[in-house]
Amino acid sequence: MNPDSCPAWDECDHNPISSFWKKASATFAKSSCGIVKVMLNGSADGGVARKESILRTVEIPSMNQNAVSEIQFWIMDNVMAPRQKFM
């Protein structure tokens, strides 16, 4: 592995960091079962789930259709806002 040959996530398909996360995400998704809850940042640049996202390209295709009964998407908006105190 040579991180200098392809240092940025989006510079090539086999970047060490993206390769690691794609494998970790696929392994995690394969073991999911029942109702799967996915929390997404509704205020993220580029939309909630870009076409090239790990969720769409790796995680959902890796899920076992016989083990997952439902996928619930929770869209959280304004996640970077300052916390407010509640009384």
Give the whole-angstrom CA distance, residue 43 versus residue 11.
25
Domain count, the chain: 1
Residue 83 within any structural domain of the chain:
no
Evaluate whether residue 11 is within a structural domain. no
In a domain, 54, yes or no: yes
Tell me, what's the pLDDT at 78?
77
In a domain, 82, yes or no: no
Q: Does residue 4 sit within a domain?
A: no
* pLDDT tens figures, 20-79: 889 999 999 999 999 999 998 888 787 777 888 899 999 999 999 999 999 999 998 876
Within a domain: 17: no
Structure tokens at 59: 């995680």
Q: Is 19's pLDDT higher than 80?
A: yes
- Look at residue 18 and tell me if it is in a domain: no
Q: Which domain holds residue 66?
A: 32-76
Instruction: Tell me the C-alpha distance between 43 and 32, whole Å.
Output: 26
